[in-house]
Amino acid sequence: MNMANVKIKIRDGLIDRLRNMSGITSDEAFARTIGTSRSTLVDVKTGEREPSLAFAIGIAQAFGLGLSEIVTWETETTAA
């Protein structure tokens, strides 16, 4: 598998579920909780940016989750 063909993303709806369950009321507060900026959080939520390992670890540490509970990945297949 060529790593350039792997797209990583946060599981669908996870950020909003964690916000609701924890009572966090804004993207800014959630971003602070996981150690990132609001703009990075919004970019990851909208798919503009892939989450970094640090982003995923921030969620894992803040909410006691394993990385496999946070991220998914898709492998793009290309014809040779």
Q: What is the structure's pLDDT at 6?
A: 87
Give the amino acid at 20.
N
Q: What is the structure's pLDDT at 56?
A: 98
- Domains in the chain, number: 1
pLDDT at 2 over 90: no
Contact between residue 67 and residue 60 where contact means Cβ atoms under 8 Å apart: yes
In the DSSP assignment, the letter for residue 10 is E
Q: What is the domain extent for residue 47?
A: 3-75
Q: Does some domain include residue 28?
A: yes
Each residue's pLDDT tens digit, 9-67 = 999 999 999 999 999 999 999 999 999 999 999 999 999 999 999 999 999 999 999 99
Residue reference for tokens 């290309």: 78
Is the pLDDT higher at 7 or at 18?
18
Q: What is the CATH number of the domain that holds 44?
A: 1.10.260.40
Q: Does some domain include residue 80?
A: no
Q: Does some domain include residue 62?
A: yes
Q: Does some domain include residue 19?
A: yes
Length of the chain equals 80
Q: Does some domain include residue 37?
A: yes
Contact between residue 16 and residue 27 where contact means Cβ atoms under 8 Å apart: no
Rg (CA), the chain: 13
